[in-house]
Amino acid sequence: MNIAANFLLSGNNAAVAIIGAGPYGLATAAHLRAANVPFHIFGDALSFWRGNMPDGMKLRSPWVATHIADPGNRHTLDVYYKQSGMDVPKLLPVENFVGYGEWFQKRVAPDLDTRSVRRVEARDGGFRLTLEDGDIFFAQRVVMAMGLLGHEYRPAQFDGLPRELVSHSCEHTDSERYRGKRVAVIGRGQSACEAAAILHEAGAGVEIVCRDSLEWNADPAQRSTLRKAVRAMLGNALIPPSQVGPFPHNWVNEVPAVIHGFSQANRDRWNTLNLRATAITWLRPRMKDISIDMGRTIFAARKEGNEISLTLDNATKRYDHVMLATGYRTDVEKMAILDTKMREKIVRHGGLPVLNGGFESSVKGLHFVGASAVGSFGPLLRFIAGAGFAARRVSRAAARAMAGRSAYQLDPVPEPMALISEREHS
């Protein structure tokens, strides 16, 4: 019998509620639909990519790792570009990716509910969702696919400073507003380097300020003798599809199930190594005229008239604006839509939920995908390429639960109290 026939779907009810309509939420929707699991998805398709990325940005991930996953591979970037009559670009512009995501959404989740979810509470073996208009929705399971917004990291030195002087890189799309202004970009990863390049090209006077040297991802000059020899023999066969992390770790990163089997301490070390700040080499030519002040410590930042002053370990400098390209630190405690009592029950490590093989937390039926799952499954879950793996595991867990079998069980969630309160507040 069809799985969906075993579940009475009426009114504001579904087997699974997906919160978030980015690549992870949409991939989960595609896989649940293929598995005949009734779901309801909330969100604004690709809203983070549309409203929190700078105009002119190009996606870092290689083409093959940028498809939003669907079980039959019917909705790939290649199909989208072919149907749209566009030429495939060498580097994918963010606006084209947004267009692709909206196209994907219309095909796998045409009934997307764009209302915001205000509150999620555990009720009677399921979940009660309160929506922005006061409507109530019930689900047996909830998939948190809300992405990075709200988890941006701001160094304490910039606390209390007005946003017109200090902003995070996710807070603007238009770089033209900084034309003729002196802007300091804090950071040294892809976000910092690309933001600096775009600002410079928009006519701003830009300086990157960072505590360590810039590191270029896949820099030929940094390849070991062994890697050069292997590459000479195997060519592109040495390159894994997603290209996440340094060789040879990047091949292991392609298999999140393997990393899930690591001890927590080893997984922490692995994530630190593979998610360190780097920039792609194709940005290097665009940065040749940008000043870079490396090896700096920022002791203080303060407002001085209409400017901001940075006290560094070697000098004091003044700018018209500071842009924090300091990344994100995902923390369950910042997920305010989750009821306080329920948040307290989520076993976590370093602010991230500890998840079993089906991406389920210690709160039965509550799943986390995307950046929230990096602590349990490794670096791939920080990128679009990890969405397929997460969606397959979540849909399998939901299908098993609906069929009356135990939900997907691989390595049950650990219970040590030591994991419960380790948080990294910014």
Instruction: Please give the pLDDT value at position 408.
Output: 43
Residues 295, 380, single domain; the answer is no
Token code pair at residue 356: 């079993």
Residues 210, 309, single domain; the answer is yes
End-to-end CA distance of the chain: 50
Residue 203 within a domain = yes
CA atoms within 13 A on the CB side of 384: 24
What is the C-alpha separation between 67 and 75, in angstroms, rounded?
8
Residues 11, 102, single domain; the answer is yes
Residues 206, 353, single domain; the answer is no
Instruction: Please give the pLDDT value at position 284.
Output: 94
Instruction: Please give the pLDDT value at position 426.
Output: 30
What is the C-alpha separation between 225 and 63, in angstroms, rounded?
28
Residue 173 within a domain = yes
Residues 318, 172, single domain; the answer is yes
Residues 10, 103, single domain; the answer is yes
What is the C-alpha separation between 8 and 161, in angstroms, rounded?
52
Instruction: Please give the pLDDT value at position 247.
Output: 84
Residues 25, 136, single domain; the answer is yes
Token code pair at residue 130: 């309160």
Query: Which residue type sits at 138?
Result: F
What is the C-alpha separation between 190 and 217, in angstroms, rounded?
9
Q: What is the DSSP letter of 321?
A: E
Q: Residues in the chain with pLDDT < 70?
A: 1-11, 218-238, 405-426
Residues 12, 109, single domain; the answer is yes
Burial of 302 (0-12, 13-18, 19+ CB in 10 A): middle
What is the C-alpha separation between 147 and 4, in angstroms, rounded?
28
Query: Which residue type sits at 5?
Result: A
Residues 141, 206, single domain; the answer is no
Query: Which residue type sits at 284?
Result: R
pTM here?
0.88
Mean pLDDT for the chain overall: 89
CATH number of the domain residue 175 falls in:
3.50.50.60
Residue 171 within a domain = yes
Out of 303, 324, 345, pick the residue that ends a domain: 324
What is the C-alpha separation between 163 and 142, in angstroms, rounded?
34
User: Which residues form the domain of 28?
Assistant: 3-151+329-419
Out of 265, 296, 324, pick the residue that ends a domain: 324
Residues 357, 373, single domain; the answer is yes
Instruction: Please give the pLDDT value at position 413.
Output: 42
Do the beta carbons of residue 214 and residue 292 sit within 8 Å? yes
**Residue 266 phi, psi (nearest 5):** -70, -35
Residue 355 within a domain = yes
Instruction: Please give the pLDDT value at position 241.
Output: 86
Token code pair at residue 300: 């203080």
Residues 305, 354, single domain; the answer is no
Do the beta carbons of residue 318 and residue 307 sit within 8 Å? yes
Domains held by the chain: number: 2
Residue 191 within a domain = yes
Residues 283, 188, single domain; the answer is yes
Residue 237 within a domain = no
What is the C-alpha separation between 354 and 89, in angstroms, rounded?
39
Residue 258 within a domain = no
Out of 307, 324, 341, pick the residue that ends a domain: 324
Residue 7 within a domain = yes
Instruction: Please give the pLDDT value at position 227.
Output: 55
